[in-house]
Structure 1
């Protein structure tokens, strides 16, 4: 019987391990490529958060009343409106399906107000019987000239980076995108690469849901600024899209088109 060379056996084992890792990374990723221009709110696709908050750090209650679509814009509103355990109400949507490697894109105008967070991100966690994995774009109302980038792997964060948003994220619509691959993660603002992560220990591996949310805080002032409510304000979203890895560009302004 001919013995298989050791290096060949090791190479085969390594390839099998990589294949298994890739399969694990995409386990439960049932979402396909899509573009939503918000001609309507498809509640079969989007779940509207309603009736709870995410913990003591959040000073508002998620409310379906703070989520609306008008003239092709998804509006997530923050306003003083006692609801549940909080004095303020705020809006959030999340996909019902989970998504894996590919390009995630949003065109949005963020809300005004220190102590507020306008966020576009992906997330999966213990409520879905998975580790906490997350990839973030967050614009903090204390400084809308910047967008914070971050990712969590098994609940470990600390990967924050700031990128410029020319003209201010709250003064007009801007395009934000990240391309998530097994061995790298690239962040873009208005089609410009602003950050790249290639350390695989800092790359999430679990398929995630897509979120858009606007919320506030009374306690995280060091990070988000001192909360100071003045009037109702909205995070406005013109488009959200996902292009699965290997799929063709779906619309003219997509970062996928720019790279091809």
Structure 2
């Protein structure tokens, strides 16, 4: 059903262009898939089912600002997810909102949704990334936050895009980058497509495929955690316009595309990490703030990272070098094995600075046939953290 509807949307976009030229009212914009090649759809919900897929989503249930959030307020019908907004006494508040949070944890890639906000003041709606299960917006693992859009319904043409690196549940952020509240020139009560491309070096935000804001954001500045997708709306700021209730904020779909592949030694990205020999936690910092490093001092101890590449193509492989002038291994061996074709080089951790070291560019098949390994020489201690395969 959604495929057919998407074709209708694309036809509608062409019709909209024609009617715009004639000075008529435009229709809804088509979905704006990520530009460039090498993208693979890795997570999506078209909201075609008759109810929320609770194997993929949890519900927002906190009490915050002017509303309590209830699972009962999130419904699906006609291929749309609706967050219903109500004048309803619950949880000590006079209004109720809601939202969904993905159970799947995601990081770099292109995120997109198609949404329209409600009519009537008093509601804050957003499409964003952060850790958590929806019971609070101050979870213990709150660190990385990326806001695809944040819109207050009192200003239905204005929105903002943000990147935050928080210091835990109650502390301030290590950094805050944002577009500031700006006028989009669009009526956000109508359907619009919102996307953002999060990479290791920054985040770029789009509305209807047009870039609206971009900011640098490197791992050395702040944490780059795996996060959940949040689609939410709460009563916030201006008093809700009761005359417009009940109402709803709606989402047509949410999609996530992946192009680069990271394998770490901890967290969700450790899916392809394994060791042989004795490895212990190190006090040294890895490639992103707060990322732990493992070390081994016995000759032959080996760490291996094996990515699950979704799409065949040309990738440049890198290993993170953790430099230590006191106990780094000056003769560690880094091996890139592309399906049985190994290439080995010496990785000198005793000199230089920490950073990504390229192991070369090759063509890779989809799947888990490629790997990077690090073998300790026994001269000192080798340090294992992360590898990445970057699409070229």
TM-score in terms of structure 2 length: 0.49
Closer/same/farther in 2, CA of residues 208 and 60 from structure 1, 3 Å limit = same
- 2: CA distance between counterparts of 1:202 and 1:163? 26
Asked if the contact 1:100/1:208 (under 8 Å) is kept, the reply is yes
Map 1:157-236; keep pairs closer than 5 Å: 158-161=176-179, 162-170=181-189, 172-200=190-218, 205-217=224-236, 221=237, 225-230=238-243, 231-236=245-250
The equivalent residue for 1:24 is none
- State the distance in 1 between where 2:223 and 2:146 align: 8
Q: What is the match of residue 238 of structure 1?
A: 252
Q: Distance in 2 between matches of 1:174 and 1:164?
A: 14
Contact 2:165 2:176 in 1 (8 A): no
Q: 2:165 aligns with which of 139, 153, 156?
A: 153
Deviations 1:101-142 (A, max 9, x none): 001111001112222111110012696542432111111112
Secondary structure of the structure 2 residue equivalent to 1:65: helix
Q: Which aligned pairs between 1:133-152 and structure 2 lie closer than 5 A?
A: 133-136=144-147, 137-152=149-164
Flag the structure with more relative contact order, 1 or 2, with Cα contacts below 8 A and sequence separation at least 6. Answer: 1
Give the drift of 1:158. 4.3
CA spacing shift, 1:128–1:139, aligned 2, 3 Å: closer
Identify the residue that residue 116 of structure 1 maps to in structure 2. Answer: 123
Larger gyration radius, structure 1 or structure 2: 2
SS in 2 for 1:33: strand
Unaligned runs of 5+ in 2: 1-40, 167-171, 261-309, 312-391
Q: Residues of 2 paired with 1:101 and 1:173: CA distance?
A: 26
Aligned length: 207
Q: Which residue of 2 aligns with 1:48?
A: 59
Q: Deviations over 1:40-85 (max 9, x none)?
A: 22110011223x314xxx1111111110001000000111111122
Query: How far 1:203 sits from its partner (Å)?
Result: 6.1
TM-score (norm 1): 0.72
Write the distance in 2 (CA, Å) between the matches of 1:202 and 1:169: 33
Describe the SS at the equivalent of 1:159: strand
Q: RMSD across aligned C-alpha pairs, in angstroms?
A: 2.4
Query: Structure 1 residues 160, 67: closer, same or farther in 2, change over 3 A?
Result: same
- Equivalents in 1 of 2:221, 2:120: separation in Å? 31
Q: Do 2:192 and 2:207's aligned partners in 1 also have CA atoms closer than 8 Å?
A: yes
Partner of 1:104: 111
Structure with the larger strand share: 2
Do the aligned residues in 1 keep the contact of 2:117 with 2:249 (CA within 8 Å)?
yes
1:130 aligns with 2:141: yes
Whichever structure has more helix as a proportion of its residues is 1
| SS of residue in 2 equivalent to 1:193 | strand
